[in-house]
Structure 1
Amino acid sequence: MKAVLVIVLIIFTLLSSGKKFRWCTLSDLEQRKCAELSKALTAVLPVSNTNSFARISCIRAHNTYDCIDKIRVNKADAASLDAGDVYSAVKLYGLTAVAKEIYEQVISEYFNASCIPGVGVAAPQLCALCQGQKSYVRDKNHFCETSSNEPFYDSDGAFRCLKDGVADVAFLDHLTIMRATESEQQEYELLCPDGTTAELSKYSTCNLGKGPGRGIITRHNFQKITNQFLTMIQRLFGWKGKERARFELFNSSSFAGKNLLFRDATQHLQLLEEQLEIAYVLGLDYVALLKGLGHEGSSLDNSVVRWCCISNAELRKCEEWALSIKSDPLVCVQATSMANCIEMIKSSEADAVTLDATHVYIAGRCGLVPVAAECYGQVCTPAAESTEEMRKLHLKHKGLSPVYAVALAKKNARQINIHNLRGRRSCHSHLYSPGGWLLLSRYTVGTLENDTENCDIGSAYQNYFWKGCMPGADGNLCKVCIGDSEVEGTRVSSRCAANHNEHYYGNMGALRCLVGNPSGRSFGDVAFLEHSNLLWNIENLEISGWAKGYTAIDFELLCPDGTRAAVTEWAGCNLGPIPPSTVMTRPVTVTKIYDFLMKSQEFLGTKVDSEFHLFQSQKYGESDLLFKDATQYLAPATHMSYQEILGEPFYQLAESVFNCTPAVVLKEVFVLQINKDTESASSLKSSYVELLLPEARKGTEIQKEPSK
């Protein structure tokens, strides 16, 4: 009694606070039953002002996928759907199954004795025919257990029960029937719903239906509340509910319909554990059956593309892309960073993402493969004038044009050069960025030559710079990050985040960090970014209202030889070339993603009259969303390895750096065994420094700045 009271009070508090639990309905009759449920709840859970809120808001949807979408975008909270739709909701739209309907009551009253492994002690006659070992010791008791220790468990066990003469009828799936021997085909027959019988081979027309029953779905962050809500209405209005005389949850006869909100045959709702795999919710056989028979969930799984977005701005652009594309459906999935996208694609929670060169290396080491590479600059033939084959040949024989990493300072800060950056304030596009993290190490952490203990450039940067903003990092390299100060309540959570929700993220963000916040306060002495859209980003400072009065002549590049140059001189004053950003996916989805991208590019890539532009981001308040804005077209790269796209120098540098600076996403890939190797730590460090300092091999001495 006390437990019931606690559950009721939890929900009572939730609902009396003004929050409505929104149930998605699929018909006018369901809408009527839902409204009556709302009235019944109001009657049994009175408050001081019963008209101040509704405990259930009934959301009418057109069909099951409309329901799924409403729940996904927070316009509804839960719905009861058939198993196939539950599969689609979970696998394709990121929802979760919170409960499923259980129908055994009906069977226990119908049959004299049965064996239904897993039914438990609630209905002893349903276990009466089982033959598993009985024991008072839990680990030795296999009677009526859902495992192979119970001889009559699963479909094969049910058939065995019949063949052994223990039962008169067996309920099983068609997969077991397909494996029946010729003699078994002659000895047994199917019982059809119309009262006739049929040969075992006629299971497609003589069957009791497909798959498990309904399940209740909701959003991941709403699972606990939905659990509590279902528990409450079931205790009040279920078959044994205290208020069943007022409202029957599992009976639709008074509404002149059947199976409204829940199936009428439902005995009770079984709540599911959080993060439970869909195969265990619907059954392993059923999920395999869905895929094998081309069920709509499986066919959607084969066609839908789940693109990984790393910020609210990317999500807005992706959703507009989804509305504009005429080919396969696009679903936009949100992550917290490029590294998080790699994790999600590895675990099949997303399908594709565009990664910068360093993250291409990380993704490649994690088993992902290239689909298409961005092509920039004049060497890229405009998409409208080139064919797919021309682009493949261009990539094979000429390669893709890189972007260049540059170091940018204000023109009036004339004392700053590439050799005296120690102890200064730095602005980096993000952690692991090609220009602001990897290539930069060749010019700023040359002091590793004198450090035989540590070759981790992450910690080296913490000691090298006074403070700065490197989104995704920590410590003093997060001190000047500002998050998204324009959205109330998000500044703390987005501060130093490795995505556009941090205003100092990316090429545009590093420039903002250098010039300071809109009030004019400067946080950086030097910014490390890419040349590709630098001029536009400088112009955008004023266009966007971030900072006024800045033009290209107010900045200069810091060259490797210690001199400075105008921002237009990037070809001769840069920190090195960066391989192109590349779309990556799992090997099994390459063809799907490639076809989708080529169709998208054909319809949305460069057409002037299109409302949506694949390679433009300004309208969303940022730059380089989903793809670099400098992209001319996406060049096919399915015939290349990620190592070939990165090129030997960049790949070898990444190899050396990450052997000393493992990324979290690579913790299962990199297993450093320095202690087991014959090579000592210092010799490993020496080869690392050799790669970091190509100038040293040429005899060029790197100037050292005394520590401040």
Structure 2
Amino acid sequence: MRGLYPVSLFFIFVQCIGAKKMRWCTVSDPEQRKCAELAKALVAVLPPATVAAFARLSCVRASSTLDCINRIKANRADIVNLDAGELYSAVKQFDLVAVAKEIYSDGGCILSVAVVKNSSLDIRSLRGSRSCHSGARWTAGWSLPLGFLLSRNYLSWSKEHPLSQDVSTFFSASCIPGASAMAPPLCTLCRGQKSYIRQKNYHCETSHSEPFYNNQGALRCLRRGAGDVAFVDHLALESIEGSERDEFRLLCTDGTQAPLSHYRNCSLGRGPGGGMVTRHNFRKVVRKFVMIIQMLFGQQGRERQRFQLFNSSTFEENDLLFKDETDKLAVLPDDMDVSQVLGLDYVALLKGLGHEGSSLEDSVVRWCCISHAEQKKCEQWALSIKSDPLVCVRATSMRDCIEKIKRDEVDAVSLDATHSFIAGKCGLVPVVTEYYGKECVPAEGATHLEADVLPSVVGVAVAKRSSRNIFIGNLGGRRSCHSHMYSPSGWLLPYRHTLSLEHNSSSPCDPNQVYSDVFWKGCLPGSQGNLCKVCMGGTGEAATKRCADNHNERYYGNMGALRCLVGDPSGKSYGDVAFLEQYNIHTNILSLSSTGWADGWTLSDFELLCGDGRRAPLTEWESCNLGSIPPNTIMTRPVLTARVYDFLMKSQETLAANPNTEFRLFESLSYGESDLLFKDATQCFVHTSHLDCRSILGEEFYTHLEDVFNCTHSDILEFCNQDVCSIF
């Protein structure tokens, strides 16, 4: 029975595909031999009646992977397995389709590592060194390392010409197979045969006939002393055995070196592994073919003794047809977009590196705005600067901004501390941090402010002075006003205090549950149920449904929470306690009259509710608050940090050089709101792209956020945690 099962499956398969020829594209003589052995093995396991049909599997020898892509597009070959970077190009530029993806023992992704033999090299000072790369536009050999170098501004790219041109001047010499058409200097270290005859020219081609091609070739380039650093994937390190492992080191992102075994903590980034492509009209046949060859010749294949799909050792080369470290192939469904196959972060990185060619997006910065008022301010900003063009893109909330940045629909936004934490979990990185200190004077010799200490703000609970019987501890059954969902002051900090003695027994760690249990109703923009019933929505150009998580909701933010506390102009919709940030409360109280919201309110009409149960004047906020809050951080995708930083610095300089201009980057009251785009308390930006979110937020605050989100459902974190490396 064991032998009949695969035969019967093949019979069904052959019935499905008829006598359709299957043409596998290969890029070297060893790969051609392995492909031919696969064809022979398939013939050997077929019943005689079906041999003729299935034996039409043939191997098409091409000069490079690009040649294979062109042949498949022109219907002169059918399938080829590609690095993820080339797969993306095949799908987006040649209209092919991905049908299967390599899965390794620890998932569907690879890590990019920088390998050296010289103990003095540092990832921060690679300029002028000689580099060996697995392939042009390859994940580990090109996209991830260049994305890292750009994100740290070690490599600068003016965007006035292709990235390859700046790479060729960054390294003193390179071998990047496949780069000959992009920039010839990137091929100076390559050793492949040169010929004016296209089919015989292997110099710098993505073919095993180029000795320094793919991961093993890049390591060969390093071994022979041709290059100083090799950019490869972590799977290639398995081929370095015994005492030779001690000769090599990894370059880590913090400037240190580490042994090869430390690749998980010493890599330049993570990206998807390789996959197979074909034409759209051939994809169903190829999927069935992949399932059959894997069932027979994969790691658990029934005919693995006859042929091993993921082993190239008998052909005196590595990674033929597939990576030798492949554990299995995941067959992809019909409706799977390339961004789902490769991941949103990786696709955004490829776009940022110019894989789709230049476009208008390359010359602009797209800023995320979450309300009508922010859109107006952003458009005034765009008109007031002479730096790179600014485009203002509308979103519905800070959470929506994070998702849009990850999807490459916008580029940057300023986020409060909680949303910065979420953005960090979503793969975004800091560019600059808002600075709330008194002076923004750069150190001598510096062009912009660098600061070791980032001034924070504090969250406070405020009640009307006339509401004498309201204290922290007896807020049960009251009406609450919160600045917005996930706000540090309005959502994160208050629940840590004993808001109501009656509801203290369970002490849940989910703030939403605490507020639902304690308060009768309230306004927590972005929430639902009773915590939306006090909200008002928006009117006119800012019309929105009640409880929207942006300034269109009149009770959103610090200003909104204050409006909620005093009530709407009719005096009907109001709260008993407001949770907001202290720094602009005085200005916002004064603005109640100037904006026509409510007349007659002064600083003395409000009091702070302290954590120990007492009440205090607003002036005593330093001793009567709910906790400190790290500053807002401007976040973006890693590959854009340098561009967004340059844009912000040029903006800041342009506006500072024109003090008479009506536009103020850190002022919002003229638009009828507060804290539009940035906190109004901001004095300038502090460069923080060299720091991670944990460092900016501080260990205590970061750990607190981790604890909260471990027991709080979050749609945006659920979206961010979709991991293409483990979903197959």
TM superposition score category, shorter chain reference: 0.5 to 0.7
CA distance in 2 between partners of 1:275 and 1:420 (Å): 53
CA distance in 2 between partners of 1:623 and 1:295 (Å): 40
1:557 counterpart SS class:
strand
CA distance in 1 between partners of 2:617 and 2:351 (Å): 64
Alignment of 1:484-499 (within 5 A): 484-487=538-541, 490-492=543-545, 495-499=546-550
| Aligned with residue 429 of structure 2, among 353, 369, 379 | 369
Q: Give the conservation status (yes or no) of the 8 Å contact 2:474–2:499.
A: no
Q: 1:669 to 1:659 in 2, by over 3 A?
A: farther
Within the alignment, does 1:537 sit opposite 2:549 as a pair?
Answer: no
Q: Given residue 71 of structure 2, which amino acid in structure 1 is its aligned partner?
A: D
| Aligned with residue 401 of structure 2, among 314, 317, 341 | 341
Report the counterpart of residue 649 of structure 1 in structure 2. Answer: 700
Of structures 1 and 2, the larger Rg is shown by 1
Q: 1:475 to 1:139 in 2, by over 3 A?
A: farther
Report the counterpart of residue 93 of structure 1 in structure 2. Answer: none
2:701 counterpart SS class:
helix
Alignment of 1:103-118 (within 5 A): none
CA distance in 2 between partners of 1:635 and 1:599 (Å): 14
CA distance in 2 between partners of 1:623 and 1:641 (Å): 28
559-568 or 136-145: which moved more? 136-145
Report the counterpart of residue 449 of structure 2 in structure 1. Answer: 391
CA distance in 2 between partners of 1:141 and 1:334 (Å): 54
For each residue in 1:517-545, what CA deviation from the matched residue of structure 2 results, as whole angstroms up to 9, or x when unmatched?
A: 11222410011111111111001111000
Report the counterpart of residue 185 of structure 1 in structure 2. Answer: 197
Q: Give the conservation status (yes or no) of the 8 Å contact 2:500–2:518.
A: no
Report the counterpart of residue 725 of structure 2 in structure 1. Answer: none
| 1:158 CA drift (Å) | 7.1
Q: 1:419 to 1:620 in 2, by over 3 A?
A: same
Report the counterpart of residue 311 of structure 1 in structure 2. Answer: 371
Report the counterpart of residue 578 of structure 1 in structure 2. Answer: 629
| Aligned with residue 613 of structure 2, among 528, 539, 562 | 562
Alignment of 1:431-470 (within 5 A): 431-444=485-498, 450-451=505-506, 454-470=508-524
| 1:303 CA drift (Å) | 3.5
Q: 1:574 to 1:160 in 2, by over 3 A?
A: closer
Within the alignment, does 1:355 sit opposite 2:415 as a pair?
Answer: yes
2:486 counterpart SS class:
coil
| 1:670 CA drift (Å) | 6.7
Report the counterpart of residue 519 of structure 1 in structure 2. Answer: 570
Q: 1:587 to 1:470 in 2, by over 3 A?
A: same
| 1:416 CA drift (Å) | 0.7
CA distance in 1 between partners of 2:648 and 2:547 (Å): 31
Report the counterpart of residue 591 of structure 1 in structure 2. Answer: 642
325-334 or 146-155: which moved more? 146-155
Q: 1:514 to 1:147 in 2, by over 3 A?
A: farther
User: Normalising to structure 2: TM-score of the pair?
Assistant: 0.53
Q: Give the conservation status (yes or no) of the 8 Å contact 1:408–1:556.
A: yes
For each residue in 1:652-687, what CA deviation from the matched residue of structure 2 results, as whole angstroms up to 9, or x when unmatched?
A: 22111111113211125679xxxxxxxxxxxxxxxx
Q: 1:540 to 1:564 in 2, by over 3 A?
A: same
Q: 1:151 to 1:517 in 2, by over 3 A?
A: farther
Q: Give the conservation status (yes or no) of the 8 Å contact 2:442–2:448.
A: no
Q: 1:385 to 1:605 in 2, by over 3 A?
A: farther
| Aligned with residue 629 of structure 1, among 672, 676, 680 | 680
Q: 1:429 to 1:177 in 2, by over 3 A?
A: closer
| 1:348 CA drift (Å) | 1.8
CA distance in 2 between partners of 1:353 and 1:289 (Å): 19
Q: 1:415 to 1:289 in 2, by over 3 A?
A: closer
| 1:628 CA drift (Å) | 0.6
CA distance in 1 between partners of 2:682 and 2:385 (Å): 19
CA distance in 2 between partners of 1:546 and 1:497 (Å): 20
Q: 1:278 to 1:409 in 2, by over 3 A?
A: closer
| 1:611 CA drift (Å) | 2.5
Report the counterpart of residue 323 of structure 1 in structure 2. Answer: 383
Within the alignment, does 1:500 sit opposite 2:551 as a pair?
Answer: yes
2:435 counterpart SS class:
strand
Q: Give the conservation status (yes or no) of the 8 Å contact 1:605–1:615.
A: no
Q: Give the conservation status (yes or no) of the 8 Å contact 1:155–1:176.
A: no
CA distance in 2 between partners of 1:157 and 1:294 (Å): 20
| 1:568 CA drift (Å) | 2.0
For each residue in 1:174-210, what CA deviation from the matched residue of structure 2 results, as whole angstroms up to 9, or x when unmatched?
A: x899799867827899xxxxxxxxxxxxxxxxxxxxx
CA distance in 2 between partners of 1:387 and 1:468 (Å): 52
| 1:323 CA drift (Å) | 1.9
| 1:449 CA drift (Å) | 6.0
1:336 counterpart SS class:
coil
Q: Give the conservation status (yes or no) of the 8 Å contact 1:383–1:632.
A: no
CA distance in 1 between partners of 2:377 and 2:595 (Å): 18
CA distance in 2 between partners of 1:487 and 1:603 (Å): 30
1:344 counterpart SS class:
helix
Q: Give the conservation status (yes or no) of the 8 Å contact 2:415–2:632.
A: yes
| 1:136 CA drift (Å) | 11
1:359 counterpart SS class:
helix
CA distance in 1 between partners of 2:589 and 2:645 (Å): 34
List runs of 5+ in structure 1 lacking aligned partners: 1-134, 163-171, 190-272, 281-286, 672-708
User: Normalising to structure 1: TM-score of the pair?
Assistant: 0.54
Q: Given residue 428 of structure 1, which amino acid in structure 2 is its aligned partner?
A: H
2:497 counterpart SS class:
helix
Report the counterpart of residue 70 of structure 2 in structure 1. Answer: 155
| 1:608 CA drift (Å) | 2.7
Within the alignment, does 1:600 sit opposite 2:655 as a pair?
Answer: no
Q: 1:572 to 1:145 in 2, by over 3 A?
A: same
Q: 1:290 to 1:604 in 2, by over 3 A?
A: closer
| 1:576 CA drift (Å) | 1.0
| 1:561 CA drift (Å) | 1.8
Report the counterpart of residue 457 of structure 2 in structure 1. Answer: 403
CA distance in 2 between partners of 1:370 and 1:592 (Å): 12
For each residue in 1:258-315, what CA deviation from the matched residue of structure 2 results, as whole angstroms up to 9, or x when unmatched?
A: xxxxxxxxxxxxxxx99998999xxxxxx99996699541xx4443211111111111
1:307 counterpart SS class:
strand
Question: Aligned-residue CA RMSD in angstroms?
Answer: 4.2
CA distance in 1 between partners of 2:353 and 2:639 (Å): 15
Report the counterpart of residue 609 of structure 1 in structure 2. Answer: 660
Report the counterpart of residue 639 of structure 1 in structure 2. Answer: 690
Q: Give the conservation status (yes or no) of the 8 Å contact 1:617–1:629.
A: yes
| 1:157 CA drift (Å) | 4.4
For each residue in 1:304-360, what CA deviation from the matched residue of structure 2 results, as whole angstroms up to 9, or x when unmatched?
A: 211111111111111121222211121212111111111111222221110111111
Q: Give the conservation status (yes or no) of the 8 Å contact 1:499–1:505.
A: yes
Q: 1:637 to 1:504 in 2, by over 3 A?
A: same
CA distance in 2 between partners of 1:390 and 1:161 (Å): 57
Q: 1:324 to 1:657 in 2, by over 3 A?
A: same
The share of aligned pairs that are identical, in percent, is 50
Q: Give the conservation status (yes or no) of the 8 Å contact 1:142–1:150.
A: no
Q: 1:147 to 1:618 in 2, by over 3 A?
A: farther
419-428 or 341-350: which moved more? 341-350
